[in-house]
Structure formats: structure tokens, C-alpha cells
Amino acid sequence: MPDAPGTKRGRLRLFWARITEGLKLEQLWNQFLSEAKASYGLYSREVDWDEIDRQSRGARRVWRSAWALFQAMLMKLSPARRILLLLAIAFLVITFDVHWGKQEVAIQLSAFGSLILFLLLALELADRVAMKRDLEIAREIQQRLVPERAPTVAGFDIAFATRPQNTVAGDYYDAFLRPLREASRDDPPLLIIVADVAGKGVPAALLMATFQASLRALSATPATLEEMVTGLDRYTRAHSMDGRRFTTAFLAQIHPGTHEMQYTNAGHNAPLLRRRSGEIERLSTGGPPFGLPLFTEGEVHYPSATVDLRPGDLLVIFTDGLVEAVDQRGQEFGEPRLLALIQSVPQPERAAATLERVMKEVNTFVGPARQHDDITCLVVRFDA
């Protein structure tokens, strides 16, 4: 019989459930290992391991490595907090004797050290909470830049999903009917895009927002797909920090009336087009990622290709975070697994079901390993 909520054991159970959010001990341990590995990676990037290897061996190397990691951690704090941390460590280890008359009293300062460590923890948590609040606001803004639901287009079944590595992401996806109709066609074309800004977190998210604004502005003009792509590259190159923040992208323009899809691939993972027969086509025609520095005069040329969509065809567009997702052993999910999965999709399966199948397969493969990149997938099934 479970403990009553009002009893001491019941209150302890409720407290434990609250702080663990219902996670089991194995899940908590895996989460700790994942976070510890990520933290070690953050601090170890500041350490000159080659220098340590040259100057020390054996136990001395262990000591120098620990000292280098401690300094890397120390320098992440503000100067005032560095002093407090050093004082806390000193108080934790210092013990001295005081003679009081004929008596000798040992005084330990560990309580003061613990108090300072608790104060430092409170300060760091306050910063983290404030930053998290700002990031949540940024996430809400970013979510408004991508569609909540797919557009309704006769003959097309569209589904998409994204999973940021952090609160905000550098991945971008969109699907919408262009507001301007072409003079030679009756229906407005459907524009589909999946893009990935190099890097993660806030810097990538900010560039993603400007990229989205540029695309929307260009799509509202009579520009062709090639002209939009050239404009996006021009804009991205002007804001890419000398190529350090380049953007890969796949853009496709589909004409619902003719079932013709024109596309350009700007250095992105080649999407998979599975024909009804089961044959897989890779859509790779295009050019380099947007925003790379020019090594010749003029602008980068991005050729496009055209494919005819037929009933039963399935288009899967994804970012590299999906195929490069790793498990606890460091093995990648890989494109061969994705190819096998797409080839096994039954006919006819809705786009949302296929998308769920892909994301679930990635989740099962990765397990409790920490996500190291944004993951985005967009699925289009042609039914007409």
C-alpha cells in the first residue's frame, strides 16, 4: 500500500518525485553522464593537451591535466566569483591550531567554505534562470518564424518536425504558397525550404531569423527560383562573418497544376525522393553553401533541376543533425539507415506517419545520449 501523502515517508516520496521529475535512477545516471561529458568537452577545449603531453608523463600528467581543467573552469567565472571560489577551496582545506591558555583548539573553516560554495551556486543559478527566461522568449519568437501546420495544397500531404539541440536552433524549415502568381500559370507555386545555419544556439538562431526574413521578402516578388537563390547567397555572404556562419539549404518550387518541381541544393544533405516503384533519387543539383567567401569575381552560380512528381512519390528533406545523431558509443545514425527506413515505408502511408517513423527510429538509436546538433525533417507525399 503506497504511503499516505500526509506521512513523513509520503512527503519524502513526493519531494523525490518532484526533484527527479519522475525519472528512474538509471535515467538520472545516464543524464548525469551525458551532462558531465558535455561539460568536460566545454572545458577541455581551453586546454593545450599537446603542451601537457610534451612536458609531463604518468602521475605528473594527471596532476597537470587536472590543474589545467580547473583553470579553464575558473576562467569561465567573473573575477569576483573566481576569488570567492579560491577562498572557498582554501577554507575547506585549512585547519589551524589556536592556543587558549593551556588548551590547544583546532579551528576549521570548512563551514565558511561550504557557505561560500553555496553562495556561488546561488549566483550561478540566478544567472542561469535569467538566461533561460530570455532564451524561452527567444524560442517563442523563433517558433513564430516557422509554420505551426503545413499548408493545405490539393494533392500534397506535408509534415515537418524539428528538435533543437538547445532552447533555440539554427535549423529552418518552411512550406508556403508564394503570394504572387506567375503569368503563365493558374495556381501559385508551393515553396519548400529546409536550411541549416552553421553552428548552434543563439548566434545560429539570429542568422536563421534574418535568413527567413530574406526568403519571405524575395518570395513576395516575381523573382524566379534562381534569382531568389542568388539573392539569398548575396545576403548571407554579407552577414556570414567571413564565411564562419555559412548556411546550407534546399529550396524547391512545386507547381500544383503541372506536378513539376524545380529545386536547387546549396550544399545541403541531398534529399531523398522515393518513387512509387521504390527507386530512390538523390536531389543534389545546385552549388556550395550560402555565405562562403568568393574566390572569383561576380556571383556564385546555382544551377537548378526539374523533376516530375507522380502519385505515390515520397520526398524526405532533412538536416545533417538527423543522420549525424550519435548513440552512447559515438556511432552515427548514418544515411544508410535512413535510406533503408525510407525504402521500407508502406504504400500508402501519410506524411505525418512517415515523419513519426523517422523521428522514432532516430530516438531509439540514440537512446539516452545527449543530442549534439539540431534535427529537422520535412516529408512530402504526392497523392494526386
Q: How many other CB atoms sit within 10 Å of the CB of residue 145?
A: 15
The pLDDT of 2-14, averaged and rounded, is 73
pLDDT score at 343? 92
Residues 140 and 153 in one domain: no
Residues 376 and 263 in one domain: yes
20 vs 271, residue with greater confidence: 271
Residues 122 and 162 in one domain: no
Beta strands in 78-164 (DSSP E): 95-100, 103-108, 156-163
Cβ 319 vs Cβ 301: under 8 Å: no
193: containing domain: 149-382
The pLDDT of 111-137, averaged and rounded, is 84
Report the SS3 class of residue 150.
coil
Angstrom CA distances, 18 to 6, 13, 347, stand at 16, 8, 45
pLDDT score at 125? 86
**Residue 62 belongs to some domain of the structure:** no
Binning the chain into helix, strand and coil, the percentages to the nearest 5 are 45, 20, 35
The pLDDT of 75-97, averaged and rounded, is 86
Nearest to 327 by CA among 23, 25, 20, 37: 37
Alpha-carbon distance of 116 to 101, in angstroms, equals: 32
* Domains in the chain, number: 2
Alpha-carbon distance of 223 to 296, in angstroms, equals: 25
Q: What is the Cα 328 distance to its own chain's centre? A: 18
**Residue 298 belongs to some domain of the structure:** yes
Out of 167-171, 182-186, 190-194, 238-242, least confident range = 182-186
Angstrom CA distances, 300 to 229, 288, 309, stand at 10, 8, 28
**Residue 52 belongs to some domain of the structure:** no
Residues 88 and 115 in one domain: yes
pLDDT score at 5? 59
**Residue 105 belongs to some domain of the structure:** yes
Residues 221 and 101 in one domain: no
**Residue 283 belongs to some domain of the structure:** yes
Hunting for cell 504504400 — which residue is that? Answer: 347
Alpha-carbon distance of 215 to 236, in angstroms, equals: 11
pLDDT score at 195? 93
219 vs 105, residue with greater confidence: 219
Out of 48-57, 98-107, 113-122, 306-315, least confident range = 98-107
The pLDDT of 334-347, averaged and rounded, is 92
Each residue of 285-316: pLDDT tens digit? 999 999 887 655 667 889 999 999 999 999 99
Work out the percent of the chain whose per-residue pLDDT is above 90. Answer: 36
pLDDT score at 21? 79
DSSP-derived secondary structure for 260-293:
EEEEEEEBPPPPEEE-TTS-EEE---EESPBTPP
CATH number, domain with residue 275: 3.60.40.10
Is 80 exceeded by the pLDDT of residue 106?
Answer: no
- What dihedral angle (degrees, nearest 10) is formed by the CA atoms of 332, 286, 258, 173? 50
pLDDT score at 268? 95
| Cα Dmax for the chain | 106
Instruction: 73-79: list long-range contacts, CB under 8 Å, 24+ apart.
Output: 73/43, 75/46, 76/43
The pLDDT of 37-42, averaged and rounded, is 80
DSSP summary character for residue 383 = -
- What dihedral angle (degrees, nearest 10) is formed by the CA atoms of 351, 356, 358, 361? -160
pLDDT score at 285? 95
Report the SS3 class of residue 252.
strand
Residues 313 and 246 in one domain: yes
Q: Residue 148: which pLDDT band, with cuts at 50, 70 and 90?
A: confident
Is 70 exceeded by the pLDDT of residue 216?
Answer: yes
**Residue 288 belongs to some domain of the structure:** yes
pLDDT score at 182? 53
Q: In the chain, what is the straight-line distance between the N-terminal and C-terminal CA atoms, in Å? A: 58
Alpha-carbon distance of 103 to 120, in angstroms, equals: 36
Residues 291 and 275 in one domain: yes
Q: How many other CB atoms sit within 10 Å of the CB of residue 138?
A: 16
**Residue 65 belongs to some domain of the structure:** no
Final residue before a domain boundary, out of 119, 144, 169: 144
Angstrom CA distances, 373 to 165, 195, 197, stand at 5, 14, 11
pLDDT score at 275? 93
Final residue before a domain boundary, out of 144, 159, 191: 144
**Residue 6 belongs to some domain of the structure:** no
Mean pLDDT of the chain: 85
Residues 140 and 156 in one domain: no
Residues 200 and 332 in one domain: yes
Residues 154 and 137 in one domain: no
Final residue before a domain boundary, out of 106, 129, 144: 144
Alpha-carbon distance of 255 to 209, in angstroms, equals: 27
Residues 160 and 286 in one domain: yes
Cβ 108 vs Cβ 91: under 8 Å: no
DSSP-derived secondary structure for 191-222:
EEEEEEESS-HHHHHHHHHHHHHHHHHHHTSS
Residues 279 and 214 in one domain: yes
Is 60 exceeded by the pLDDT of residue 1?
Answer: no
